[in-house]
Amino acid sequence: MALIYPPVGFHFIVRFEGLLLKYPGIPDIGFQSVSGINAEVSVEEYHEGGENRFKHKLPNAVTYPNLVLKRGMLIGSQLMQWFKDSVENYAFEAHDISVILLNGDHLPIQGWNFIKAWPVKWEISDFNAEEATIVIENIEFAYQYFRRLDVTSLL
């Protein structure tokens, strides 16, 4: 019987679908962290007349938080050009983003595809002359929804 261990979350890649065709430059693949991979179904409560023991709970819309990517600042990247185009020209073009978790052999074990994502926030860490730290950028994306990807589609 094989032992199955939960995967570790430090080995992953991020892909931006169609970004290389639109913006030539440094490809964006290396990120320090990814957060915001969750979905929540809101609940509507309905009180039925004459029933005092409970309220009926009904599913409502699904909500998704922003996808947040964090890395050391990269000058001249495709991602920076995409964000700049969005902010300066108000030209919001959606692209799919895939986050793929890898195993120790660099093979995909799980993936998530964020549909029609666009940049909504870019934040740079503080500059401090007393510390020799790397400049970190946080990039947030809004998106329509996400779906889990079948491992066979990632190979």
DSSP string, 18-43: THHHHS-SB-----SEEE----EEEE
Q: Residue 97 in contact with residue 66, Cβ under 8 Å?
A: no
User: What mean pLDDT comes out for the span 22-44?
Assistant: 84
In single-letter form, the type of residue at position 22 comes to K
Q: How far apart are the first and last CA of the chain?
A: 26
d(CA 150, CA 155): 10
Q: What is the pLDDT of residue 26?
A: 63
The confidence score (pLDDT) of residue 69 equals 96
Neighbour-count burial of 106, counting CB atoms closer than 10 A to its CB (0-12 exposed, 13-18 middle, 19+ buried): exposed
CA distance linking residue 68 with residue 117, whole number of Å:
11
Q: Tell me, what's the pLDDT at 151?
A: 74
Q: Where are the alpha helices (DSSP H) in the chain?
A: 19-22, 78-89, 151-154
pLDDT category, 24, cuts 50, 70, 90?
Answer: low
- What pLDDT digit, counting tens, does each position of 55-97 carry? 999 999 999 999 999 999 888 788 888 898 888 998 889 999 9
pLDDT digits (tens, 9 = 90+) for 97-140: 999 998 888 889 999 999 999 999 999 999 999 998 999 999 99
pLDDT band at 153 (very low <50, low <70, confident <90, very high): low
Residue 41: band (very low, low, confident or very high) from pLDDT cuts 50, 70, 90: very high
Pick the closest to residue 29 from 91, 92, 66, 79 (CA basis): 79
pLDDT value of residue 154: 65
DSSP state letter for 95:
E
* Tokens matching residue 34: 């990814």
Is residue 33 very low, low, confident or very high in pLDDT (cuts 50, 70, 90)?
very high
Is residue 109 within a helix (H) or strand (E), and if so which, with residue range? strand 108-124
Q: Are 145 and 123 in contact (CB under 8 A)?
A: no
pTM over 0.85: no
